[in-house]
Chain A
Amino acid sequence: MLVAEAVSLRIGPVVLLDGADFEAEPGRLTVIIGPNGAGKSTLLSCLTGERRPDRGSVRLDGRDICSFTPAALAARRAVLPQSSNLSFPFTVGDVVGIGLDRRLASGPRPDDDILRLALQRVGLAGYERRLYQTLSGGERQRAHFARVLAQVWEPEVDGAPRYLMLDEPTASLDLKHQIDILDIARDYARAGGGVIAVLHDIDLAQVFADRIVVMKEGRVAAAGPAASVVTEALLKSVYQLDDRMIALKRLSA
């Protein structure tokens, strides 16, 4: 169980998080949505242990996330960043393998198998020896997703669930691959792992999420089961949509 309590974070005069509460359970796909600048990515970076909140706490199974060593954290969760740039000629296999170098993937499978399976899972089977630089934007994103999957391949190790934390995993993907990625994420949750994803697309969120957390201005505006949280009233207030835009959205749906 990953729990954030009253997390606040500011950089200079800018308040990024203002007392946000959050929880993610293993076995569930928890999606964070909200307008631009609502603090979604900042909250995620606190959940990963990358940033230490000014106030409030983030706890993984009851223990302060900042008290874990980086290596211990890496054995419990993997993080897919919004974008990565890499200016060295690594092969796809190298990139995915970086997550395996520390033998974090404790489990029955040898590393090479995990690498191959992870690439297969994201639809990049046989790409091991391709140079990362020659991939398209979408393929790069999927290669990184494979790296993240490989890092915590078994959703559960010795009864301790592991977490996938995805910051807009679908950003540069076409619709089919968006759905593929979220399918994989949901399967990971079904297998006992925890998944936290920041998504832009409310419709995708409603289809895939078990639980939706809606953020606005550094706070959590609403949270609950996917089916009941997203209402017209909420959309109006959080996204500041007027009736015209709601009608448009209903039309497109």
Chain B
Amino acid sequence: MNIDKKIADDLVANGVSFVTTVPCKQLAGVIEEVEARDEIFHIPANKEDEGMGLCAGAHMGGKRPMIIMQNTAIGVTINTLATLTQFYRMPLPMLISYRGELREPVACQVEMAVHTKALLAQLNIPTYHFHWQKDVEEFDNILKYTFMCNKPVAILTDANFWGGYGDQ
């Protein structure tokens, strides 16, 4: 199964047409796939809170948005998640590369990984963790759930899910 294509297919099928991204090596394939889809407007952001602002505007303009980012971004976006996305009740699926988990080669990434789930839990953000490739089958349901409840929802995707880091 090509998980990049499956994720993009589910986005299109759920009417997600506005996607902002801050890149991560693990996310390169899915970002490329999003960029290639005519049904999706892809707008790279310079910082993840800026991306959440773009998504807030797209939501109010009648589009279904999504953000793709690293888990380090949770440290950047807590204020935006609380005072914009949650305070105004905006739906926002967040496809997050979960750096610092199993098969991670870079020690520093672990320092945010150990806080990631605790921070999301503190924010009462529904959180899913994709560890096996088959977990992607849940993505469609998570998108439907997000736009049903008008909340930010986190999908953490670790290195094992993306197939590791090759020779690193």
A in complex with B: no
Interface residues of B (CB under 8 A from A): none
